[in-house]
A and B are shown apart, each in its own frame.
Chain A
Amino acid sequence: MRRLPSRLTAASLLLGLGLSLLLGLGLGLLACNGCAGQRPVAATGDAAATDGPVVWLQGIIRLVGSEPHAEAVLTVAPAAGDPAGVSLDYYLTGPLSQEAQWLANQSVAVYGRTRQLELRLAGSSGRTRLRHELYAEIIRPQP
């Protein structure tokens, strides 16, 4: 994603102000349940998902992908004594996944259930991509 520099956003600001005023007129009706389903988020299918254990995992929070669709992952380094090991990325899901983005580059421990998905890629090749997810229930900074 690429944003606009400030000089090109005046119209956006005016539009935002107008929308804010309009929203203000809505008073307390903002909690309308009817809105809930109007912003569907592209969700991973779970047809090929395998639920894993509930665990504590330690690693670094990273943001990956490009804006505005960057995602938070917990990158778990290879175990000590395994210098040629492979670090593993767990894409964070659940309500804390957005908050986790604000902890980018920090060492943390995350508690939650892991799962592994086999995501089908587009096209006729039938290729798939593995993705490890961690449903974050607790995130604690680590010393």
Chain B
Amino acid sequence: MAWALLLFAASIGMAPGAHADPAFAIERISTELEQGVYYVNADFRIELNQRADEALDNGVALTFVIQIHIQHHRLWLWNSVDANLTERYRLRYYPLTERYRVANLNSSAQQSYATLSKALSAISRVRHLPVIDATLLDADTAYYVAMRMVLDTKQLPGPLKIMARIVPGWQLSSNWREVRLKP
């Protein structure tokens, strides 16, 4: 019974992001305005730990989520999120061809890579991603784009999902980082 309680506490306490592991990091974000649409470019650093590596090698697909918030600051209040979008990638190892395949779940575009580092670098590079139409934004307000990368443990297979809640080392995410949204 005691361990059941412990488990319960763990499942509540260890929500994603509660323990930010420095496995992911944002190295650079930049924005650009092109034909009335804001685009964002970003570079992440991804270092999978042994646990994730092992899962990948055993045929478990990993889902990476890049969360993007367009927000503005408010006095005395938390930030107001005006728009948010997510970019999701699934990384999987194919033993027959011995290649890693990255699939963008939003666009269903996919590409395979001979090495894991190449696959990860494909995920970590965000290029020319449209985020918001400039007409939707108030011209007088200073907007920021905030980003982070999270490993989505909810997409893990059933039993592993429970373990990911209990066992430390599965909560992989970067910290939020924001830059001023400017042309």
A and B bind = no
Q: Which residues of A contact B (CB under 8 A)?
A: none
Q: Which residues of B contact A (CB under 8 A)?
A: none
